């Protein structure tokens, strides 16, 4: 999956998601770390689609989650790494549910 799928804080955007269900203060802005597989095929990024490009998503992640500014050379390397994780995109068949 790359990475583990943990739930972690991501202080970005207005959505409260898990907090809306549990009401627990520590659940505010908690999101699951998504798979990085086939990521470059699935813009826009984040739960709210707020990053239009992979470069924008990398810059936000670096600043918010790692407190770093990514220089252009590092950005090119990270984009290349993420693109190397592209494989066959699974075909998802949406089931047709019976009428009520």
In the complex, the residues that contact ligand HEM under the rule CB under 6 A are: 8, 10, 31, 33-34, 39, 42, 45-47, 54, 57-58, 61-62, 65-66, 78
Closer to ligand HEM by CB, 24 or 64: give it: 64
Closer to ligand HEM by CB, 42 or 89: give it: 42
Q: Is 4 helix (H, G, I), strand (E, B) or coil?
A: coil
Instruction: Kindly state the smallest distance separating residue 100's Cβ from ligand HEM, in Å.
Output: 32
- Bridge partners of residue 30, in order along the sequence: 9
Closer to ligand HEM by CB, 4 or 96: give it: 4
Instruction: Kindly state the smallest distance separating residue 78's Cβ from ligand HEM, in Å.
Output: 5
**DSSP letters along 11-58, please?**
--SS--THHHHH--GGGTTEEEPPP-TTGGGS-SBSTT--B-SHHHHH
Instruction: Kindly state the smallest distance separating residue 53's Cβ from ligand HEM, in Å.
Output: 10
CB burial class (10 A; 0-12, 13-18, 19+) of residue 19?
A: middle
Closer to ligand HEM by CB, 24 or 48: give it: 48
Query: 29: closest CA among 3, 42, 48, 43?
Result: 48
């Amino acid at each position: 999956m790359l990475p583990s799928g943990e739930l972690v804080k991501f202080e970005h955007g207005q959505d409260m998601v898990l907090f809306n269900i549990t009401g627990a203060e520590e659940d505010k802005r908690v999101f699951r770390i998504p798979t990085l597989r086939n990521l470059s095929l699935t813009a826009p990024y984040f739960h709210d689609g707020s990053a239009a490009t992979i470069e924008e998503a990398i810059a936000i992640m670096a600043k918010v989650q790692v407190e770093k500014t990514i220089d252009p050379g590092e950005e090119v390397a990270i984009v290349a790494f993420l693109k190397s994780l592209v494989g066959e995109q699974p075909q998802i068949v949406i089931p047709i549910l019976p009428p009520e």
